Structures are given as C-alpha cells and as structure tokens.
Amino acid sequence: MKEKEIRPKKIFNRFLNLAERDVKKFFNGKRKKIKCVACNKNGKFSFKKNGFVYCLCSYCKTLYVSPRPNEIAFSNYYTKSSSIKFLANTLYKKTQKLRRRKIWKPKAKIIAEKLKKYKIKNFRYIDVGGGYGTFAEEISKYTKKKITVIEPSPFMAEECRKKKLNVIQKFLENVKKEDLPKNKRCFTSFELLEHLHNPSKFIRNLSKLMNKKDIFIFTTLSSTGLDISTLWEKSRSVNPPHHINFFNPQSIKFFLKRFGLKTINVSTPGKIDIDIMENDINFISNRFWKFFLNNATKYEKLKIQELISKSNLSSHMMVICKK
C-alpha cells in the first residue's frame, strides 16, 4: 500500500490548508493545561504546530495537546467546519474503493485472525463510530451474527441502514446497555482515540457499557512509531485540531488499566511508515534514514517496513483488550 492511494497528496494538502484556516475560526477561546492523557503525569513542552502546543510525557512518552481548547470548540469544529466537510465529501469519497480494498478488507481479516488466535469466538460485533459501515460490511464476512453500528450522524446512519446493518443512532455517551445486544460483545473503534477531546471520558463510557469478558478492539496512532517519531512536528499525521492524542504500545496499557480494561495484545500492523518518510524526505534530518531512503531498493524498503511492523514500531497501532 502507498500513502498516495488513501491520501492523494494534492487533496490531502488541500484538507490540511482548510484545517489551518478553521483553527482561527473555531479555536480562539481559552485553553486549559492538562496532564498526560495516558498516565495522568505532567508532560513537558515539545513543539508548537498550527497554534496548538504539544507536550511529551517524560514517563510514558505519550504526545498530546496541552493547553487544550474546551470540548464545545471541538464539537463545533467537527460539525460545522469546511475542512471536515471537505474530508467527508471529497477525500473519503474519492478514495472510498481503495480504502475498502487497502484498509478495511485487510483490517477485518487481521481482526478475525487475531480473535481466532486468542480463541475469542461467538461475539457480536458493535462498531463505535461506524461511519459508512464499510468495516461492518467486511467483518460480517467472518461471522454469522448481525453487526451493530453506533453512529450519531443521521446521514451516515442512513447509509448503514441501506446496507441492512443494525444501527444505534446515538453518541456513545447516550447509549444505554439495553440498546445493545445481550450476547457476548466485541466492540470496535478505528482511528478515533487520537481525535478525542477527552479520551478518558470515551473509555469510561465504553467500559460502563461492557459486560465482564466483553472485548474491545481499536486502532490509533503511536507516538513511538517510525514515521511520526522521525518527522515529529513535520509529520502530516500530527495535524491539529484532528490528531491531539498519540499513545504508544506501552502507554496505552497504562491508560486502559485505569478503566478496568486488561490488554490482551498490542501490535502495529502499519504498512506505510517508510513510504510516508520517503514522501517527506526533505523534512528528515536523520542522516541514516536519509541515506537509506535515497539508496535502498524497493525490496529492502519492504523488508524494513515488515520488521518495523513486527517490532511494534509502526505508527499505526492496533489494541485488543477485555473487561
């Protein structure tokens, strides 16, 4: 997989430019200092980007925005901004077919294989923030049980209904236990945690909905992943106000434990760290990586990417935990 297939450079840069403009419109109010979103210890200033300050926790190496605008500012941004409309109506639509083939099909397969490996079976899938229902469609190929999608957007919820998915049209904090199937449940959520104003609130609400032995599988970005840790403030994955929380394979365990969730497995099945670095080579100061990217063969780059992923050093992280 190549970055340009899921994030065409011209379109993605347009999205980032719109986001920069929206920051001035939606985030000009007061901001509050917060402690590390993972371990609740004090972090230290790392860099400033697009008007947002990022701190790095010296204890668990989580990267996070602090001081942080209030939740209303983020809510207004995600419901009214031009960059979010562009993201949904242009970027995602133009890459929809490729995203299904390159992201959602492989992701569903990986999850099905991991559940089989850990002998986790006979669960009902509940996809939190299911969007257009693409993942739900793909994971349904691995189970006979009906998939449930929690999706607050009326437009996206209707798209899921068209696909004959069971839809709960609510924000997670408004979902009640009686809304959910009573069987053993496997909750899923993808590329969400890095966006949340208050990740603790999200996990706390989810944990309350989970029964004992229920499973939660999610993906998010890792602060210790290769492309993010190498490019750092120059990384296009560090793009406030969207990505404001960067956990990592160690800190995510501390975080989940605070809410009574036990980590079963953490992996980084990312495929495009090397490709991202190659695309942004002008922002890389490390001499080793510059030399490697300029001189390595495609095969050598592929093997390094495989090693990075297997060593939990990719920036794309997948976590399996249970109540």
Closest listed residue to residue 38, CA positions, set 186, 289, 247: 247
Mean of pLDDT over the chain: 92
| Position 38 pLDDT exceeds 90 | yes
| Position 3 pLDDT exceeds 80 | no
Model pLDDT for residues 49-71, shown as the tens digit of each residue = 999 999 999 999 999 999 999 99
Residue 88 in tokens: 């949904």
Handedness of CA 45, 319, 270, 198 (dihedral sign): negative
Say if residue 68 is exposed, middle or buried (CB neighbours under 10 Å; 0-12, 13-18, 19+).
buried
Res 122: pLDDT = 85
Give the pLDDT band (50/70/90) at residue 155.
Answer: confident
Amino acid found at 253? K
Residue 240 in tokens: 């406030």
Closest listed residue to residue 92, CA positions, set 137, 139, 131: 131
Domains and CATH numbers, the chain: 95-190 (3.40.50.150)
pTM (2 decimals)? 0.90
Query: Which long-range contacts (C-beta less than 8 Å, at least 24 apart) are formed by 180-184?
Result: 180/126, 180/148, 180/209, 181/124, 181/126, 181/148, 183/122, 183/123, 183/124, 183/145, 184/122, 184/123, 184/124, 184/211, 184/213, 184/214
Q: Distance between CA atoms of 228 and 127, rounded to whole angstroms?
A: 27
Res 243: pLDDT = 95
Task: Give Rg (Cα) of the chain.
Answer: 19
Say if residue 188 is exposed, middle or buried (CB neighbours under 10 Å; 0-12, 13-18, 19+).
buried
Range with the poorest average pLDDT among 86-90, 159-163, 241-245, 250-254 = 86-90
Distance of alpha carbon 173 from its chain centroid, rounded?
19
Amino acid found at 126? I
What integer is the mean pLDDT of 304-318? 97
Model pLDDT for residues 21-34, shown as the tens digit of each residue = 999 899 998 999 99
Q: Distance between CA atoms of 159 and 137, rounded to whole angstroms?
A: 12
Q: Are the C-beta atoms of residues 236 and 282 closer than 8 Å to each other? A: no
Closest listed residue to residue 34, CA positions, set 60, 61, 50, 55: 55
